[in-house]
Amino acid sequence: MGNNQSRRIEERLARELGLVLILLLLALIQVTLLTAPTGFCIPLLLVLAIGRALVGAGTAEPVRGLMRGLWWAFYGGIALDLLGSMPFGSHTIAHLVAVFVVGLVARRFVVERPLVSLLSVACGTLIYEAVLWLLVLPPDSDWQVYVRVVMLPSLLLALIPTLPTVALLHRLLRMVKD
């Protein structure tokens, strides 16, 4: 019994380490290759974490899906914090808050519908950017300028990979369960 249990723990640790490495690689791609000439980048890790929480919300165990989405948000946020220039922890906190709020609200809807995915990522992106604004920028900064210059372009860039990413996650997680 101890041998099987230690093998399961080793397999779980190997899967988590693989996930961490994949998300670190995706963070590197997000920061370097997916950056637009204007300086904005597609928030791929946020879309992945929200998508993972959404895919789990449509199952018999929605809390487990939300927890996995939060782990993805944590790993992705740490990776962005390691590669970024903002204060350490800011991306992680913003990812976790966005995925948690969206994951809780999305449990009430049929998440297989494309409109739910798009609205979830849109709300999650706005929450993510608002949390970053609260954590990083000075309190006297103009929020209207931040909305026009940062939040809206980030929102538009986040919506681009949403549908293919969520569809791919649905397919991959269905293959893993079978």
pLDDT at 21: 94
Secondary structure class of 41 (helix, strand, coil): strand
pTM above 0.95, yes or no: no
pLDDT tens column, 45-71: 999 999 999 886 655 666 788 899 999
**Under CATH, which number does the domain 2-177 receive?**
1.10.1760
pLDDT at 1: 47
pLDDT at 119: 93
Is there a contact between 137 and 146 (Cβ–Cβ < 8 Å)? yes
- Residue 82, amino acid: L
Which residue stretches of the chain have pLDDT < 70?
1-3, 36-38, 56-62, 110-111, 177-178
Rounded to whole angstroms, how far apart are CA atoms 121 and 139?
26
pLDDT at 98: 97
- Residue 142 main-chain phi, psi, to 5 deg: -80, 115
So where are the chain's domains?
2-177
pLDDT at 23: 93
Nearest alpha carbon to residue 47 among 170, 163, 146? 163
